[in-house]
Chains A and B, each alone.
Chain A
Amino acid sequence: MKKQWFHIMLVVAEGRCHGAEIQRRVAEQTDGRVKLYPVTLYRSLDQLTAKGFIEEVPEAEVREYNEKRRYYEIKLEGRTALAAEAETLQASARLAQAVLRGS
């Protein structure tokens, strides 16, 4: 799974949010290590939507400050994929620690 997808889905899994909010919270969660630039962010959202991991919330076309925003929430398939990816990352981290301890 692409790194940006993982972090986007982590944020969306916490609750529905729009693109700008996702970008801000990913930066907060990773202490600025992961920066989602606009085009990457929205292409990733489109790709995740096409894969069925997240979905756009159609009724939540909330007009705040006269700006049109789409909200996204995670689907069951997305949670499953997220959990699997987290497990994979955990296993990799355990392996790395074991190797470094051994050397």
Chain B
Amino acid sequence: MSRPDRYFALLLELLPVSFRERHGEELNAVFNQMKEDLGSSPGSVALIRLYVALTWDALWQAAASHSEGAADVRGWRDGLRADTSFALRQYGRRWGTTLTMLAILSLGMSISVLLFSFVHSYAALPPPGIILEDDLVRIRGSAPLRDQRSVRAFNETEFLEYRGLGHQFEAVAGWADARVTLTTEGSDARASVTAWASFVTENYFSVLGVQPMLGPGLPTVLSGDPTLESVAVIGHITWDQLFARNPDVIGTTLDVDGTPFTIVGVAPPRFVGIGRSNSFKIWIPLSNRHLLLSAPSVETLAYRSVARLRAGVSRSEAMAAVQVVAARGEWAERTSVAERLGRSAEVVPLLSANGDPNFDKDVMLLILALGGLGILTLLVTCTNVSALLMGLAVARRHEIVVRLSLGAARSRVIRQLHTESAVLASTSGVLALGTVWIVLRALNNAFPQSPVNLGVTWPAAAFTFATALAVGVLFGLAPALHSTRSSVAGALQDSAGGLSGGRLRLHRALVSAQVAFTQPLAVGLVAILFVTFGVLQPVGPSELGDQLISLRLPAATATPGPDIQRPESSRQLRSQMARLQAALEATPGIAAAVHDFGRLGLGSYIVYPDDRVANGFSEAFPVELRTAAPGFFSVSGVPLLRGREFSTSDASVRDLRGDAGSVPVVIGSDLARRLWPGAEPLGRRLQATAGSTTRSVLLVVAGVTAETEAGGGGFRTAALVYMRRDTASVSSALLVRTTGEAEPLISTVRRLARDAAPDMAATVQTVASIEEGERRVLRGVTAVLVSTGLLTLLLSAIGLYAVMALAAGQRSSEIAVRMAIGAPGRRIAAAFSFDGFRLGIIGLVFGLPLSLAALQFVNVAIVAEEGIQVSVAAVGAAVAFVVALTAAAATFVPARRAAAVDPARMLRRA
């Protein structure tokens, strides 16, 4: 027969014999006819389509015909039902072990689902409250920044150009954000909160496909009557917390920076807009921006944009059009030609986190890190459960060999054991999903303003469930095969009931494998924790955080680069800042205002050889250089412990770039202690490391501050070193010290900033709120990592304990004999402890390559950019110690139980 005939004949084998015998010739005749209809030289595509269709036809009809009448199919279903009820009875008899396995497996699956769900939510889902649709896209601006690209907002002219792309987009919406203060009049008192206001185009909500849950929403057609447009839609959290979910909130007035707005809508739950994470949000028509940002220049508001693609237009076609617009850059009058040439815009799907052009790189790291953790967790869980299943199967060997001896096929018994594994995995999956649902509800309640869709993503759940089922069946295969290999005589004669030979080796291998998988998981978590604290070194709260206001006037085009350094821009900014500083200092309630220059950059320094002391740190260390104006420390409230503040006669940052000389610096007391323990730090010098262009300039310690960060920095990546900013530099930020609480003065400061610099959008916050926000992030990250790490160790400990307890039970007769002939209980306990500990060490050794790989990944992929290194030796030693300790602790109780065996009772029972 020719090849296609053989294939068709093979397909027919799927069908019932009776059907084949009845219609075999005719089937071939029709098949040949279909082949002839394709012509004498059919193309490969047509042939493939025919084969695929024939295959599907045969498979589908074979399944239907078999299920219609075959008695053995009904028998298969009945068999499955019987296996399942038998499995449930078996698990019910050993409910302790069953509950342990359920707890371990569901815990492991819960952790995996959470990790995978977070990755999926971050990487593939739109912001909360928005439905993912193919035609809903983000127009994202980007500009070059050193060797990367950074996000770039648009000015109004550029935004309107995108709106004009009617061939590509059915609708383009935009928004610009600003910080505002909301004030409500309660029955007892006024309540003021800081919120994000989004000034939106009239089609913003319709483009996003979001309807207010209360009220008509913002007008979709501009009437031109400002009183009709002094309206706002409030966020769900705002409605909940400021209006106590009052259903009659529509039509009431809300004070926004002293201007009354009528509430015309409440956003649906979970919808927080795009990109800004804050509890309190309002949306205001773009036409009302002049009410809150007095007379800003049209080109200085920072717009972001979303759009709906026109039917039939692809994202790449739309991107080509927006890139032409971006490249023109004719409206970017304040930028250089070089800067304009680097500008670009992309059309990307509207996802939670892809507002940043570096999203792809970040999401890949996230997938690798969290995905790797999730998979390792699953492996630890499944090896754990497999070892327990192995023990259970051994405990049932008498039952199994009796069934084999009565004529049951080995495959039938294996099928039974596999069904038990599948029931266990399925039940655990359901429990895991329930646990995840509860955890995510709690997270959503704790972080309602999260910009990421925190929810059970079904792809993640399905993947975890399917993996656990597959791995559970796979890991159940070894115990099933081993337990059905027993000979009847051997099993019936063997009254010791213990593990021996190959089963024993497999059991021990599973336990060691579990420890081996646990180690890199724990190492990865600890490394990420190290990195988190290394990158985000938490700084103690500023003592005067409640009396400090951070005022920042970024260039409203959000353009990275030296816009501010242009001569005419610099002069204008200097004059604006001088006016603002004078106005602030003349305001009642404000003690002083000082320029806040912020971070200069990272460097690598080393103690000057002549200034080294014994026991002092003598290697290169990363340094974060910050600049400060004279008077900065007294305003910021950071105490100077030794030395002095900067003065106008001190050398400055500009001098750092000179050929030689020294620059006075102020360092933190923690750095001083590390570099010169027990010695006077004042007057000592630091030198840039080899290769640095500033190597010839020494930093001389002129002052030492307390450890707290000045100005609400929150986190720092390296040792903090301050130096004086030169007077030629222009700052667009001020640190304002108030005489009393700073929060009530926020709106006043904002108004003064508007008056002094009407073309700038000021960001005004208390330092306390900045620090609290960043500490909250760190607390959340730490809690998640520590919890996951502890859970992982707990999983490992439970598994080890259960396995050792089972082994002790299995070997109770052997123990009884040993004790009967004189072995002390202590020795028995020691032998068990040593055995369990040895298993743990074997697992540690085999897990070492995986652990080193995990550490290397963290060092290279995550940490390298931050200029710090995770110590491989320190992390590895710490985790090895913890895992070994866990192994020892987990085997302690079973070992003691083994030593407490009553030999007489055990021997009578045997």
Contact = CB atoms under 8 A, between A and B. Distances in A.
A68 B25 contact: yes
Interface stretch (A38-46, A73-81, A82-90, A94-102): A38-46
B57 A20 contact: no
A-side interface mostly: helix
A39 B26 contact: no
Interface of A: 18-20, 23-24, 35, 37-43, 46, 67-70
Interface stretch (B27-35, B436-444, B618-626, B791-799): B27-35
Interface in B49-104: 53-54, 57-58, 60-62, 64-65
A24 B33 contact: yes
Contacts of B64: 43
B33 A20 contact: yes
A38 B57 contact: yes
Contacts of B12: 39
Given A37-B53, A37-B57, A38-B57, A68 B26 contact: yes
7 tightest Cβ-Cβ pairs between the two chains A and B = A37-B57, A38-B30, A39-B61, A42-B23, A38-B27, A39-B57, A20-B30
B15 interface: yes
Contacts of B15: 39
Given A39-B57, A39-B58, A40-B57, A67 B33 contact: no
15 contacts: A18-B26, A19-B30, A20-B26, A20-B33, A24-B33, A37-B34, A37-B54, A38-B27, A39-B15, A40-B60, A42-B19, A42-B27, A43-B19, A46-B19, A67-B29
A40 B54 CA distance: 10
Interface residues of B, number: 23
A46 B54 CA distance: 19
Contacts of A38: 26-27, 30-31, 34, 54, 57
B375 to A, nearest CB: 42
A80 B60 CA distance: 29
B61 to A, nearest CB: 4
Interface in B1-51: 11-12, 15, 19, 22-23, 25-27, 29-31, 33-34
Interface of B: 11-12, 15, 19, 22-23, 25-27, 29-31, 33-34, 53-54, 57-58, 60-62, 64-65
Given A37-B54, A38-B57, A43-B65, A23 B23 contact: no
Nearest to A23: B30
A68 to B, nearest CB: 5
A46 B64 CA distance: 13
Contacts of B26: 18-20, 38, 42, 67-70
A24 B30 CA distance: 9
Given A38-B27, A43-B64, A67-B25, 12 more contacts: A20-B29, A38-B30, A40-B60, A40-B61, A41-B30, A42-B26, A43-B19, A43-B61, A46-B19, A67-B26, A68-B25, A70-B26
A73 B15 CA distance: 25
Nearest to B31: A38
B6 to A, nearest CB: 16
A24 B23 CA distance: 17
Contacts of B34: 37-38
Name, among A18, A19, A37, A70, the residue most crowded by chain B CB atoms within 10 Å (CB to CB). A37
A78 B53 CA distance: 29
Contacts of B53: 35, 37
A68 B27 CA distance: 11
A48 B27 CA distance: 17
Nearest to B33: A20
A43 B30 CA distance: 13
Nearest to B26: A19
Nearest to A65: B29
Contacts of A24: 33
Contacts of A39: 11-12, 15, 27, 57-58, 61-62
B560 to A, nearest CB: 53
Contacts of A46: 19, 22
A39 B22 CA distance: 12
A70 B23 CA distance: 9
Contacts of B23: 19, 42
A56 B860 CA distance: 76
A35 B654 CA distance: 82
B621 to A, nearest CB: 74
Nearest to B54: A37
A73 to B, nearest CB: 16
Contacts of A43: 19, 61, 64-65
Contact of A69 (B29, B33, B60): B29
Contacts of B57: 37-40
Contacts of A41: 30
A24 B61 CA distance: 20
Contacts of B25: 67-68
A42 B61 CA distance: 10
Nearest to A41: B30
